[in-house]
Structure 1
């Protein structure tokens, strides 16, 4: 019996390891995962280290510790102190899709993208500590827009700006509980490529032969390095089931290795189709330096009744005015944001009514981003909601399954002063497995 259990456990570990390698390769190769002109700035659109069950509550995380007594553990890598509450081996994997409508004046454009979003594992070490590791996106870049200028003599030129790529985080962390205090930390490896290009194309009649030679310069920034995040939580029991959890989490300012290079390409077009490049030359030798990520702080709390309901709020700030590439400040602003949300589970032990066992989640969030254009701050706001749907569970094996679905509906930016507004709907789907893998048997 013991050997059979160990064999099954090793099969699960091998399967998960292989799945994680595949997910990592897909995450690295699938570069274009968003269509947002605002992702041109900084490292792109920041994703945050949040699973769908937290995104559905407006993104609260700092004070989220252990909403459930035993089953349905949640991996909250945004505050590694919460790992101390993981009592079962927990696996979470998911995907995200987003629909974006871009508005500028009377012009509208719709875009749709989908990508695998995260893979995370939590493993209890003993009764008061646990570890977690996984991989998920940190930022995404994806945009293309054109400015048409009149060169005189009836001649026009299109200046096309495009970008793709993003940064990914692979992390490993540990959380420990001492009395009512949880402490935790993550070691994170942040890596990826940020690609940005500028093309110049003369405007000609697409119905006639086009012998015009166009040019493009592409800049590539390859980034990789280690940074750290940390957190603490303190819970105050109001009674045997109800408590208040106060939390803090943050990430240290860090300098990642950065290698920049650029390539100049000359090409022709057949109508609207780009032909094979005529010539490609390196613009300059690769330059090595540092990309400096800023100090981040998160403060929050939750009030919860175990297995019943939870309500909380977060406040976050980021020193993005200190962001620099190769020692050059990029002119970004400091950020701040607020999230408020919660969930309710009518009766998690209900047998006769499935919907009483469902988690119902709702939240709102607001952020001032690090972008300022024409002396106007670019802000983002959204309402969020979602469900935690219990799946068939194996009581004897103490295995519990859940599907978490969340939706974010919001906007970024404004159409005032000729600026661009993004209206977005983001869908997130995650599958959670909680199982007791590492058990000691008294009899062989």
Structure 2
């Protein structure tokens, strides 16, 4: 059994390294094309690690000695005095569908990216800190639309595309204030850029050969860089020798993020040749984007690292989002509800199968996107497991799977059906320990 386990662990670790070496780990590359990423600052990445993803994304009140908690900084104070390093990879297969002229148009795509790099270490028996780097949002879309000019039979072609996103480098700290009360804070540096382009032309020659058609192009590039904050608190009273109640909350205050924007108009031929000098409307014009406040609450109950059941609720005031030039972003307030369960058969056993951790979860999101007066919903379910590896089985390889849908096939809505795969590796060790010589 030991030889089989050793061989399996080596294969899994080699697979992890191969995946990390060949995956597109440049930050802000996105998880595939999505028209909804054109809105606001882009599509938000999952805030939890691979462990949280496997149980509905819950993580406001629950923590574990084997994994990091990236959602509530206060829970760093509940960690044992061990150093843990984690890396997560994300991949997503997405199917887009829309009713156009009574026909269903379908498009499929796939994307993958580095989910996060994180390191946590103890400062004392009741105080821990962490460093992390992860993508925060991504923008990846390409759309084409045709309209007929009013009072004219001419057809106008519009093309819209966008690339980029924001990244987040964070320092967090958590402290055990009293026996079961924890407080924490996170300071994060947001940085990145988003490029949106659009063009329009009146179709004169359908073949486009020798056509006098011209395109009117608009290019907009926004750069962002500023510090944002998060506060967290948790209360973990013991209900009995085995059972613990966990309560947690986080608060992201309204933040004005510094940025600059450049807008350029240009006329070109269909082949892309310039027709005249570009018209620069704004060049590195500075401003501030308003990111709204967010509040999250969680409650869970756990039994001695064996069973955990929890629920998280979050509220986001995206209706108050403003662009760099202080214009409304056209978003609405969002909210989310998540429930999850985690089970380890016998965490104190020496039998390998008893140490495997299983997870399941459910999530319902009211997204900040509104199409023709209807707010877009996202509903998904998840499954996950963690395999202990290494000496004393304190390290973990974690797999999580999420399947869900956002939007419906009514009106002009785009329905997205997706399958997300997350792979994480967690390494735990005691650092800064003085050697003892007998």
TM (norm. structure 1) is 0.86
> Which of 287, 291, 300 is matched with 2:285 structurally?
287
Alignment partner of 2:319: what SS?
helix
Change (3 A) 1:269 1:400: farther
Aligned twin of 1:77: 70
Give distance in 2, aligned partners of 1:117 and 1:278: 44
Aligned twin of 2:10: none
Alignment partner of 1:82: what SS?
helix
| Corresponding pairs, count | 409
Alpha-carbon RMSD across the aligned residues, in angstroms, is: 2.5
Aligned twin of 2:328: 329
Cα drift, residue 211 of structure 1: 5.8
Alignment partner of 1:237: what SS?
coil
Alignment partner of 2:236: what SS?
strand
Q: How does 1:31-430 map to 2 (within 5 A)?
A: 31-66=29-64, 73-87=66-80, 88-105=82-99, 106-151=104-149, 155-177=154-176, 178-203=178-203, 204-206=205-207, 208-210=209-211, 212-269=213-270, 282-325=280-323, 326-352=325-351, 354-391=352-389, 393-395=390-392, 400-430=394-424
Q: Is the 2:259–2:288 Cα contact (8 Å) retained in structure 1? A: yes
Cα drift, residue 74 of structure 1: 1.6
Per-residue CA distance 1:205-224 (angstroms, 9 max, x = gap): 44834564323211111111
Gaps of 5+ in 2: 1-16
Change (3 A) 1:276 1:435: farther
Give distance in 2, aligned partners of 1:33 and 1:263: 28
Change (3 A) 1:33 1:263: farther
Alignment partner of 2:237: what SS?
strand
Q: Is the 1:267–1:279 Cα contact (8 Å) retained in structure 2? A: no
Alignment partner of 2:48: what SS?
coil
Alignment partner of 2:77: what SS?
helix
Q: Is the 2:56–2:339 Cα contact (8 Å) retained in structure 1? A: yes
Worse overlay, 281-290 or 236-245: 281-290
Q: Is the 1:58–1:341 Cα contact (8 Å) retained in structure 2? A: yes
Give distance in 1, aligned partners of 2:120 and 2:30: 29
Give distance in 2, aligned partners of 1:32 and 1:54: 20
Q: Is the 1:268–1:278 Cα contact (8 Å) retained in structure 2? A: no
Per-residue CA distance 1:33-83 (angstroms, 9 max, x = gap): 4311111111121224210100111011111133xxxxx522112100111
Give distance in 2, aligned partners of 1:410 and 1:29: 24
Give distance in 2, aligned partners of 1:343 and 1:403: 15
Gaps of 5+ in 1: 1-18, 67-71
Give distance in 2, aligned partners of 1:215 and 1:207: 16
Give distance in 2, aligned partners of 1:174 and 1:289: 30
Give distance in 1, aligned partners of 2:29 and 2:219: 15
Q: Is the 2:266–2:274 Cα contact (8 Å) retained in structure 1? A: no
Give distance in 1, aligned partners of 2:29 and 2:156: 28
Q: Is the 2:29–2:113 Cα contact (8 Å) retained in structure 1? A: no
Alignment partner of 1:324: what SS?
coil
Q: Is the 1:335–1:368 Cα contact (8 Å) retained in structure 2? A: yes
Cα drift, residue 186 of structure 1: 0.4
Give distance in 1, aligned partners of 2:283 and 2:39: 24
Q: Is the 2:27–2:134 Cα contact (8 Å) retained in structure 1? A: no
TM (norm. structure 2) is 0.87
Alignment partner of 1:60: what SS?
coil
Aligned twin of 2:12: none
